[in-house]
Amino acid sequence: MAAISKSKRALITVAVAAAFGGSLFLALRGQKQEAQAQLEAAEQAAVLPLKGLIALDVETFFKDPRVVQRLAAARLPVSVSRVGSRDMAAKLDGASRDTAADFFFPSGVVAANQVVDAARKAQLPVAQLAPFHTPMVVASWEPVARILVANGLAKPLSPKVYGLDMAALTQLMLAKKKWKELKDAGAYEVSRSVLVSTTDLRRSNSGAMYLALTSQALNGDVVTDRPTARATALKLAELFKRQGYQENYVNGNFDDYVAIGMGKTPLAFIYENQLVSHALAKKGVSADMVLLYPQPTIVNKVVFVSLNERAKALGELLANDAELQGIAVEYGFRIADTARFVKTVQATGLGVEPRLTQVVDPPSFELMAEMIEVVAQEMAQ
């Protein structure tokens, strides 16, 4: 075969180089287009609302325009739906599994633990933290508080703040004592039984927390076994039955306390944040409104449960962003910065206990469910 001339060899080299260069160009262009598409997809995903199922407690927080704006600026906007805290775990179970939810925000560690357990069983990545919390308290009135003090059921802690002996009060209520039978009852000398008003524990978390707290008061410790749970619930059922009609939602009991007053609601079991947010919104409270802190009490954590990394970033933002934490305080919640919470509340004239030293946990979800069922059956009779 004849040798290729130098000129032909040069032409072939140029042609090969051109072909290779063209292929390389097309490959690089394809990679660039793919990278651009991935970037655009990531940017689009970053502005899509995170879907969350939340408790009533934080609904107004998420509707606040400042919160909406801050989450949008952080590229973590949300679309939330309110669901009962005890119903959230069912959204992750079996046929009803709601994989569209990015996060859950239930009220209370009992409900949160149930959600986490359901998520793990569904093999979903799960993380949790509590950006806000609020203790369970008894909202009352100065004349009523003085009667409790006179009878050894409460003690003054600071102006408009009292410590409440839950063990002594629970025994007195089970003994069916009436207000007029108490020492120095002149300011509230009525024939009504001494009872703490609650929401309906069959539908409301705060009512269930009252059952948890009185069960601890009656036993001297947290209920940890089923026989004790059932026996205790049977004894405490009358504290719910004798109240008469109970509101189903968290604000119902509190609304009666604020609107109707001491005559109907001398003692109301509520979340502290309810009265704090009311005081902040109204820039004050009635002069004789006071808070009684059960000793011990239960701190109700609003627990953020995330199911993916982006939702986890949202939870961390809620817990660490100074602006969002400040807005949470305006809705009455306590945050890690206790001093900031106390300073904000002081301007309203409402007294709060700065640091809670006597706190207990509620029983496990399974035992709480058992006790609620027992009380519900008794109330239906």
Q: Is the pLDDT of residue 212 over 90?
A: yes
- pLDDT for the residue 96: 45
Answer whether 195's CB lies under 8 Å from 267's CB.
Answer: yes
Q: Which of these, 166, 243, 236, 252, lies nearest to 203 by C-alpha position? A: 252
Q: Is the pLDDT of residue 148 over 50?
A: yes
The model's pLDDT over 81-93, given as tens digits with 9 standing for 90+, comes to: 998 888 898 888 6
Name the band, by pLDDT with cuts 50, 70 and 90, for residue 100: confident
SS3 of residue 90 by DSSP: helix
The model's pLDDT over 242-296, given as tens digits with 9 standing for 90+, comes to: 997 766 666 778 988 998 889 889 999 999 999 999 999 999 999 999 999 999 9
Task: Return the half-sphere exposure (C-beta side, CA atoms, 13 A cut-off) of residue 15.
Answer: 6
| Confidence (pTM) | 0.85
Q: Is the pLDDT of residue 94 over 60?
A: no
| CATH match for 48-132+302-346 among 1.10.10.10, 3.90.1150.10, 3.40.50.300, 3.40.190.10 | 3.40.190.10
CA dihedral 181, 183, 187, 191 (to 10 degrees): 0
Kindly report the CATH number that applies to the domain delimited by 134-300+355-379. 3.40.190.10
Q: Is the pLDDT of residue 98 over 60?
A: no
Report the chain's mean pLDDT, rounded to a whole number: 89
SS3 of residue 68 by DSSP: helix
Q: Strands 289-295 and 50-54, how do they pair?
A: unpaired
- pLDDT for the residue 18: 61
- pLDDT for the residue 304: 97
Answer whether 276's CB lies under 8 Å from 335's CB.
Answer: no
| Rounded mean pLDDT, 111-123 | 91
Percent of the chain with pLDDT over 70: 85
The model's pLDDT over 153-172, given as tens digits with 9 standing for 90+, comes to: 999 999 999 999 999 999 99
Q: Which tops the pLDDT comparison, 144 or 11?
A: 144
DSSP collapsed to 3 states, 34-51: HHHHHHHHHHHHHHCCEE
Q: Which tops the pLDDT comparison, 26 or 343?
A: 343
- pLDDT for the residue 381: 82
Angle at 42 between CA 38 and CA 48, to 5 degrees: 145
CATH 3.40.190.10 in the chain, residue ranges: 48-132+302-346, 134-300+355-379
Contact partners, residue 374, CB within 8 Å, separation at least 6: 229, 230, 233, 234, 237
Q: Is the pLDDT of residue 42 over 70?
A: no
Q: Is the pLDDT of residue 45 over 60?
A: no
